[in-house]
Amino acid sequence: MTQAAPAAYCEAVLDHGGRLRGRVEAGLRVFRGIPYAQAPFGALRFQPPAPQPAWQGVRDALAFAPAAPQLPRVAHAHTPVVGGPDCLALNIWAPTDAGRPLPVMVWVHGGGFFRGAASDPLYDGAAWARSGVVFVSVQYRLGIDGFLQIPGTPDNRGLLDIVAALQWVRRHIGAWNGDAERVTVFGQSAGAGALACLLGMPQAQGLFQRAILQSPSVACQTPVEAAAAREAVAALAGVAPEREALAQAPLPAVLHAVHRLAVDPALRRRMGLGGRQFFPLRPVVDGQVLPASPLVAMQQLWAAQPAQARALQILVGSNADEMRLYHLPTGLWDQATDAHVDAFAEDAELPTALVATYRARVDGGRATPGALLAALQADYYYRAPALGIALLASRCTGGAHRYSFEWPSLQAGGRLGAAHAVELPFVFANLRTPQGLEFTGPSPPPALSQAMHRCWARFAESGDPGWPAFTEREAWTMRFGTDQACTGQPDDALLQLWDAPT
């Protein structure tokens, strides 16, 4: 019987002298489950991230940390919790023989601010390391622990976690030949929304030089909306909407409360959460951690610190058929009525003229209510904010680049199209992962993956993804579809009607 070859280990020495043991995998140095802060439970629950104490000797970094506590995407009344308290960790993939400082890419996963994990195989960083990048994936607090506004506790704890992770990267990434002066943060959906918040947060300045925002979900809660969310979660969990009661509540009870609110728009509306918020928990504009809504905060900070703004470079984009990811599985694509469209328009305070224009133009004026609702929500939640960020960055930063993902997946009976998140397996060059195949189907085009992955890595290396910068005068946009083409013509006329939601 042939014995398996012994694992090859490697080490990294942090700047406090403590060592980490990782593995050599396919010629790459891989370290998993590195704590950047202490477990945020017990006495540290609902507190800012507490630094991980230094240690002496060697600490294993061989296995992923638990995900932040959450429920699976499909959950029922008795579905057990996944994840665990010691979740504030990051993972690193790096080349073994760099010989020079390498650009760093720090990934912030999405998941509606209440689910997701850096350990998902879709986010494996090997392809980035093979492209000459030191890749870091970060976990942060989710759900009530990360984003529920609770009196007597700091707001936006999940955002503070990401800042703490970036501070850790700045201090220690040299142990992997990472260049702390060439850090690109990138994220998708809620991850991109979190990074949009960081772009306007003074405490995050200087921790990264470039940012890639994929389908940024930038809608934040006002304090009034955050209070309504707290009341709703507490009521469903059967506890008082106060710090001690929420801390002592059984974790499954509060996680199931958030899940119920997330999957049931009618329940959200009955409990005082308007339909404008697609998920029940978001960052909150508290005036301290997050001084204003993301685009406003960016504009204010960049105007106040123009030199720092010019040192930033932004790549941002969205997908052509964002909302099909949500509306096809739930049946809303086929079952929506004009009442659904009107209810969303009212909750989002959309101008009557804008809705009328969509009715007249989407699918040549023949759109079903489901298609019309999806078009309005896609532009409101993702496409208009992405365009707004590109415009603002083109005025204030050292450069803005924009893309549109338009490859039509044939999943969901041939109707998924370029839905929300379908670009992820292409960007990560992880087409054969279970989640990747769920998005793309069995025959995704490898050339598209190679092109997108190369452009993202090139942007991290130099700030130039390979196509002209986006400007107000020339709206250069790389369109990743069945073919790739860069166009500088004015964008979709419907998008020009929006003031990007902030």
Domain with residue 162: its CATH number is 3.40.50.1820
Q: Using 50, 70 and 90 to split pLDDT, how confident is the model at 501? A: very low
The whole-model pTM stands at: 0.97
Q: Tens of pLDDT along 109-167?
A: 999 999 999 999 999 999 999 999 999 999 999 999 999 999 999 999 999 999 999 99
318: annotated active-site residue: no
Say if 465 falls within a structural domain: no
Residue 140, classed as helix, strand or coil, is coil
Rounded to the nearest integer, the mean pLDDT of the chain is 95
- Confidence bin at 496 (pLDDT 50/70/90): confident
Q: How far apart are CA 170 and CA 206, in angstroms?
A: 9
What pLDDT, on the 0 to 100 scale, is given for residue 7?
A: 75
Spatial separation of the C-alpha atoms in residues 184 and 105, rounded to whole Å: 5
What is the band of 490 on the pLDDT scale with cuts at 50, 70, 90? low
Q: pLDDT digit string (tens) for 174-228?
A: 999 999 999 999 999 999 999 999 999 999 999 999 999 999 999 999 999 999 9
Burial (0-12, 13-18, 19+ Cβ within 10 Å), 86: middle
Residues 6+ apart with CB under 8 A from 201: 159, 163, 289, 290, 291, 297, 301
Number of neighbours of residue 270 by Cβ within 10 angstroms:
10
Q: Is the pLDDT at 1 greater than 50, yes or no?
A: no
- pLDDT tens profile 386-405: 999 999 999 999 999 999 99
Q: In the annotation, is 322 catalytic?
A: yes
The per-residue pLDDT for range 56-89, each reduced to its tens digit, is 999 999 999 999 999 998 888 889 999 999 999 9
Which pLDDT band holds residue 98 (cuts at 50, 70, 90)?
A: confident
| Per-residue model confidence (pLDDT) at position 500 | 54
Handedness of CA 211, 214, 215, 218 (dihedral sign): negative
Question: pLDDT grade, residue 172 (50/70/90)?
Answer: very high
Query: Token match 């404008």: residue?
Result: 276
Q: What does the pLDDT read at residue 112? A: 96
Residue 304 is assigned to a structural domain of this protein: yes
Q: Could you say which DSSP state residue 163 is in?
A: H
> Looking at 137, 189, 217, 449, which residue is catalytic?
189
Per-residue confidence (pLDDT) for residue 276, from 0 to 100: 77
Compute the average pLDDT of residues 247-264: 96
The verdict on residue 177 lying in a domain is yes
Catalytic option among 215, 420, 423, 453: 420
- Flag whether 393 is in a domain: no
217 is catalytic: no
Once rounded to an integer, what is the mean pLDDT over residues 465-485? 95
Structure tokens that stand for 424 in this block: 């992820």
Which ranges in 30-138 belong to alpha helices (H)? 126-130
Contact 333, 341 (CB under 8 A): no
- Asked if the structure places residue 345 within a domain, the reply is no
Residue among 278, 161, 302, 273 nearest 218 (CA): 278
Q: Distance between CA 455 and CA 19 in Å, rounded?
A: 34
| pLDDT at position 459 over 70 | yes
Give the angle subtended at the CA of 383 by the CAs of 377 and 386, to the nearest 5°: 140
What is the tally of structural domains in the chain?
1
Specify if 151 maps to a domain.
yes
Domain contains 256: no
In terms of Cα–Cα distance, which of 233, 227, 223 is closest to 268?
233
Domain hosting residue 32, numbered range: 1-217+283-311
Q: Is residue 383 part of a domain?
A: no
